[in-house]
Structure formats: C-alpha cells, structure tokens
Amino acid sequence: MMRDPWTADSPHEECGVFAVYAPGMDVARLTFFALFALQHRGQESAGIAVTDGSRLIVHKDMGLVSQVFQESILRTLPGQLAIGHVRYSTTGSSEARNAQPFARTRNGSFMALAHNGNLVNTDELRESLIETGHVFESTSDTEVIAALLAEHPSHDVKEALQEIVPRLRGAFSAVLLTKDEIIGFRDPYGVRPLVLGEIDGRYCLASETSGLDIIGARLVREIEPGEICWIDETGYHIEQVVDRKQESLCVFEFIYFARPDSVMKGQTLSIARNRMGQELAAESPVEADLVIPVPDTGNSAAIGYAARSGITYGEGLVKNRYIGRTFINPDDQIRKLGIRIKFNPLSSAIRGKRMIVVDDSIVRGNTTRALVRVLFEAGAKEVHLRISSPPIIYPCFYGIDMADQHEFIAFGKSVEEISLELGATSVAYLSLDGLLRATGVAADGDGFCSACFTGEYPCEVPERLRCSKFRFEAAACGSLER
C-alpha cells in the first residue's frame, strides 16, 4: 500500500486498539464501531478477533475499517469477547502479514493479541526466540510479544504477563484475548494511552475515549503505566505488574494524534488545543487581517489564536475529506494536481489579506511549502505560519512514523531560515513551556514525553536504533546518550 503523498508533512498516527467482554451483545459490531471511531490512529489495515469460548475467529485485511468489514463479514463473527486493531506501520512494513490481531495457540488453547506502540528491544527478543526454534510469519514487534506469551509455560496468562511485561522495553498499550477473558496492559512509562469503559454492566478497553463514546460506553478510568487490567465474568480487575517510571504520555496525543473529542488526563483535547492557540498568540503576535487553520488539525488552535489576538477567524482552505489514505496510487497525473487535490483555497476570502495560518506541526515541510505557494497564488498579501507545537528536531522511537533527523525542516535551522525555505512571510512555533501550560496537566513537563522536541528519551534507546535515525556518523552515536 502506498503512503499518502499529501500528508507527508505530519507525524503519522501509530495504531488503535479495542477490546470488549460482553456476553449477550454483538461484540463484533461493537468492535467495528469502536474501530471506526479510532480510524484516525491507523488507516493501513484493520482486524477483529472474536471468541465464543470454544473457537477463535480472526478477520483482518489491508484497508480502512469500512473496507475490511462489510455486513456479510460481521455476521460471521459470533462471540462473547472480541479485540480489534487499526494499524499504521512503524515496526514492520505495510503489508497484509503484519495486520493485527495476531492469533496463536497457547498451552492447548488459543489467544489473540493487538498492540499500539513500538518496542526498542525487538531484535534482541526476536533473536532469543529464533534460537529456541520459533519461526516468525511477520516483521512486526507485536508478533514478538505474542510469541513470548505463547511459549511461556504458565497456564495462567496473567502470570505469564507478570514475567514478560518487564522484558519489554519501549512503548506499548496492548489488548489480549483468551477463551474466557480479555486483558489490557500498558508500558511502565505510559507512552501510549489505554482507557477502561463500561457499557450496560460490561467492560471494554480502548486507546481513547472516542472509542467508548461511539458505542455508548462511559469512561471508568485510565489504565495507569505498568498496570494490567483483565476482564472476565466477574467484572474488571487491575494489578500493577511492573514498577511505574516517571509517566511519559506522548505529548503528540494532546497536539494531534487523539481525536479532539477524546479526554486524556482529565482534559478534553479540543479545549487543550484551543489553549495552545491562545498561548501561541501571546508568544508570537503579528498584525494580520484573518486567522485560518490548516484543516482539520489546526482548527482548535486557530480558534484559540483568533480569540486571544482579536483577529477575525475564518475559513481559507477547503479540505477534500475523501482523498485520505486510499488505494489510489499517486501517479504522475495525480501528482500534477499537487496540494490542491487535498486543499483548495477560498480566493474570495484570501485575496489582499494578511493571513495567519495555524497548524499543529511541520515535519519535512513539503506540504506546508506547497500550501504557502497556493495561498499566495490565491491572492494573499502576507502568509504568517503559526505552529502550535515546538520545532520537531529529534526522531521518535516509540511508535510514531515521523522521519529521520536529517529530513526535519527544523533540524539545524533558525526560524528565519525555515521561513525562507517555506516561502512564508514569517514562521513562529509555540514554545515547549507554552505547550505544557496549554495541556492543563503539568507546566514542568512531568507526565509527558516530549523527546521529539528535546531529545530527552524516557526509555533508553539502543545505540543501533539511534544511529539509524540521527544525522551523525555511527562512531559519534555514543555521545547521544541522554
């Protein structure tokens, strides 16, 4: 499957997971709707595993949730327990064999696993399993976790998790299905989110609260870092299986990844993003006639910027919401259409105006550069870019597909140089302090991973991985310990 050529400047989502224990309910359909609400977290593949206690059925394929699951498929997925997954590839290429959930036999029974995040010690774990004779079918780190569980001798999968989870390094929120329970577990840093919900006395797990809302479930609580939560016929149970570290939720969940209607750390994200725009207006004011967002990721921050600055908020770019990630190959004919295939300017609103254009982030700068050009061609007098996050200058190793360091437009450049390269009148980024204030959670950075801005990684990254993404010679990588 081809990468979407029109979203190459944004960090790409990781994955989304969902699990439900609901005897008497259509668990496949509940999972389908939950995955539909989590579709923004991954658009490459989708899958659902269900069980009635005696057999396991898994259906997964490349494509969007609505493409993979039609009514005829959902009718073939009876059961009382289910887990589901939407994927954007990080570890492992974009192909059908890496679609999740992964099913395995375990001690004469079965299990299925779905995972959001990225392990930094995948190679080490994979090699240890290969030495014992395990044969892998995919290149995904999720299969490594599944293999560790499948080969563990304990008949109680929770006992197996107590030994295996401490061996996993990196970021992970995962859901596990057995014949009579579902289990969720989260890494000790809490880099990737996981929440517990309740629907009509039954319980479910999801990457975000938007996956609960769509099925009418209420939020019970977040699963805390290092916890496992298992759900069976008696209800839900939670246990700390690994000592939690300093909590480091990916700050990009607040900036961009999670849906604006989701709630994290007690904050509705659209409100937090509005505050980011207000902080940005206070830090980087400019005289202008109109504030517009890059839809949809800049909407809330642009509204906040306009409110704080007193400059009129308006619509200047119309988004084609149906281009998305599709199976249409971006051939030369489509490429000639350029950025306009995804964004079309409203010339009547733009002509002769000094524009403030608000977006959440810039990675490589290709799409942003094209947007600036389109706005000037539509008659804009000035184009001031305002970005509601700090400059991205360090790569992510925890499950976000960004780029290697040398590809970042902000790497090694001043904001004046970035502005010149993008062709904008001016560029300004939100400071890290302003971003953290806007979250409404912690002004000192406690509770978040902001390594893509600071280079301070909460979980140690092996030198081999650092050298693969940093713009340094391998011999110098040892100096990157932080």
Which amino acids are annotated catalytic? 15
Rounded Cα–Cα distance for residues 82 and 202 (Å): 13
How many Cβ atoms sit within 10 Å of the Cβ of residue 261?
13
Question: Smallest Cα–Cα separation from 146: which of 123, 124, 129?
Answer: 129
CB 381 within 8 A of CB 356: no
DSSP structure class, residue 253 = I
Rounded Cα–Cα distance for residues 343 and 329 (Å): 18
DSSP structure class, residue 256 = I
Q: How far is CA 16 from CA 88, 101, 161, 464, in A?
A: 9, 11, 21, 27
Residue 196 corresponds to which tokens in the numbers above?
Answer: 């517990």
Residues near 266 by beta carbon (within 8 Å), at least 6 away in sequence = 440, 441
Rounded Cα–Cα distance for residues 397 and 451 (Å): 9
How many Cβ atoms sit within 10 Å of the Cβ of residue 334?
14
Strand partners, 182: 177, 231
Cα angle 120, 212, 208; round to 5: 30
At 240 the three-state DSSP class reads strand
Rounded Cα–Cα distance for residues 217 and 412 (Å): 47
Question: Smallest Cα–Cα separation from 363: which of 394, 342, 322?
Answer: 394
How many Cβ atoms sit within 10 Å of the Cβ of residue 321?
9
CB 224 within 8 A of CB 244: yes
